[in-house]
Amino acid sequence: MAHTKSAQKRVRQSARRREINRYHISRMRTAFKRIREALREGDIERAESLLPLAQKIAYRAAAKGAIHKNEAARRVSRYAQKINKAKAATK
């Protein structure tokens, strides 16, 4: 347990920050999960329409410091590639 007043404050700040980070990360993972499910079902149009929303959520998480900006870019890029690959396979 923290003893000094400043250490107690840091514990409170860390707990609040952890909750905020968990919110952003969970929201981002759910957005990408919806894209994965759409691709698994073969609904490429829905996956394509979900990508901009997932991108926005990922970049917001990066802006808030929950994840690194390169991680957000990497995730968006990978899902864009998956969607493009699925589109190419159906042609």
Average per-residue pLDDT for the chain:
96
Question: Residue 91's pLDDT is what?
Answer: 77
**Torsions phi, psi for 3 (to 5 deg):** -105, -45
Question: Residue 24's pLDDT is what?
Answer: 98
Question: Residue 90's pLDDT is what?
Answer: 86
pLDDT at position 53 over 90: yes
pLDDT (average), residues 62-84 = 98
Which of the four pLDDT bands, split at 50, 70 and 90, describes residue 74?
very high
Closest CA to 36 of 73, 90, 70, 83: 83
**Dihedral angle sign, alpha carbons of residues 10, 11, 16, 20:** positive
Report which of residues 90 and 49 the model is more confident about.
Answer: 49
Which of the four pLDDT bands, split at 50, 70 and 90, describes residue 32?
very high
CATH code of domain 5-90: 1.20.58.110
Q: What are the extents of the domains in the chain?
A: 5-90
Closest CA to 54 of 69, 67, 73: 73
What pTM was estimated for this model as a whole?
0.89
